[in-house]
Structure 1
Amino acid sequence: MRFCMILMCFLIFPMNPATAAVDISLRGQDPVRLEDVYQQEGVPYIAIEDALDAVGLTGHWNPISHSFLIRSKYGWGEISPASGFLKIGGEFYPLKDKPRFIDGRLRVTDSFILNQLAQLSGRSIYFRNLDPDIDNAPAKQENGLEKLFAFLLNKKESKSELLLRSVAIDPGHGGLDTGIIAPSGYKEKQLNMEIANRLAKQLKMKLGIPIYLSRDGDYEVTMEQRFQSASKEDVDIWLLFHAQSAFSEEVSGVNLFIRPEDSASDVADGNEVEAGQSDSMMLANDLALSLRENSIKVRGIYPSSRLSLGRGDLPTVQIELGYLSNPEELQQLQNPDYQNQIIQALYTGIHRYAKKSKEKKNEIN
């Protein structure tokens, strides 16, 4: 049966691919050079067994289910050339590219290695394509990025006397895109949604302003849809919620990210905002200060070129709420009282920023 399946895959995918080479390893380890790699339409396909060996995982082909099983600390992960999903623990996670049989071996793409395989290993993975087939790369990928970068999230001038007209909030991940999964099974998407909902309620109750959530339930949202919530005319602030994971269980605390055109700053001593700082940095400083005042550890404020932050001058901060890889912090983050502590701190930081911003505007006028 397996022979028939392989033969069929050869017929479906005629073999004239270009060979290539890639480096793969867990972050912090020496990379493993893999040369049994094929390029198809600009996408590298790596034998799943080779990829697993490079990151310290194991697996095997199941001839009964016609699927490949991957052993992980979360249980057995299952992929198949007939399915566009990774199955684990009774849940299904979408794959960007289906696995393919090429030259007698089941192969996966760089997307699977950097995302699903990293999720199964519980660690970040280093991947480098040494022979990128640029000439055959799909044009639609570039066009998609251009479309996203067309969303210029610019600050709109307002004559309103309100401190804030509205706030956009993006609870990261959702649906089959779970984000980080803690060893206990707690998912990043749950934390992001809980914090977003509770902060939205706080802002509505105390400021009486509309709040635009990129999602209000457990479903997937495209990057374009996330940008749309922040593109509304009356939005003065955009906050994005995520969580993190680290190699060491000891790492903990909140990280704040802003666009790279903003310079990073150390606010450990609660220093006042320096003249000339961007609105995003002002907002991040006020959020960091309020979090620290509420006994919540803040590791720092960092510039980031990540696509999720978009472009423009709309005051934007991505808040990494903590490390789900730290058992103590994970327990705190699931505690409603600690969540309320975070919410109160964020509200105070937002209110503090809004007052400063209004005073700054009045001085200019």
Structure 2
Amino acid sequence: MSGGRRIVVVGGSQAGCATAAALRRFGFDGEITVIGDELHRPYARPPLSKGILGGTEPDDSVFLSTADDLDIVGGVRAVRLDVVRKRVELSDKDCIRYDGLVVATGARARRLSQYADEITLRTLDDAIQLRERFDGAREVAVAGGGFLGFEIASTAASLGKAVTVVDQIAPLAGRLGPLLSDIVLIAAAEAGVKVRVSTGGVELGRSGHGGDRLQSADGAVLAEADVVVTAVGDVPNVEWLRGSGIALNGGVVVDGDCRVSPDIVAAGDVTSAPGVGGRYGRTPHWWNASEQATTAAATLLGREPDTWPGSRVPFFWTEVFGLRIRLAGHLPPFGEPVVIGGSLADRSVLLAWSPPDGGTGIGTAAAVNFPISAPKLIRLAEDPTARGGPR
């Protein structure tokens, strides 16, 4: 595409903004319009459950830097796509025409109930409102034992709240593996956090004492608190694409080049890509959003991308209960790790796992409160047989 043509990015997310930046980096000098449904400027989500929720970082620290030559339209939603006329219809009844389209509408929080006031944490406004709710609360319950759920629990505990985390499976084990998840659970227990597992499921109910409660399917109370937060995953924002002819399968279907159709690409949490056995699935994580953004921009411009999704070692991190955990490679890690540096007993350790298939593929590397740069951690995951430690 050359100058004078318009690319519309639907979604003021990290993926959307990163794609817009990549379009400029690849030399596109036409008009780029970014459409977002929030009134805030585009912002990063990872700090919301940490510094923003805890009040240790200013609210405006999350805003992303965007080029001055982007036309950012906020406070409106895309409600329909007309692929024949190449138009995006908006919630304010306006329409915007495109020559190239980037779908980056992300996802919204999955909910446990139909209650309009169910508390979730997905947006900046969610974080600010939850922070205010914490001010007058003594007890906090969190539904969901994933990264987000434990980050919320950690922040609440640091504010002096009595915290209970409830999930239907063993918390974090499916992402961190047994060793690292046990480290987190021990640290959580030391912070006074209770963890309950309800294999029959978890529901949100109303308490007779002015609060909410988490209960099992048979009504047994699992946790009762002044504030109950739901952190049970997300749902891709694809409703506006129904009836457009765009393929949907748990998200917007993309190929290995993030292509949806000849003039449409997608990136981020909204995408669904083929995986093992041909099954489609999403990877709702900031690393995937960043990787796909570069590929999507190159594909839309007919350029060769720097990298393809999945071609680089993924990188993850979380901060909970005094633990700064950074991971590179395959999750969850497979088998027993090798201690490269530090000490498990001191909770300052560098670990490496072999590839899950026992071959020469990508393994896993993890740093728990251990000083190592992200590039070095990634290199260790690429070659987990290395035993020399960081250099």
Task: State the TM-score, normalizing by the size of structure 1.
Answer: 0.26
Name whichever structure is richer in helix by fraction: 1
Instruction: Choose 1 or 2 for highest CA Rg.
Output: 1
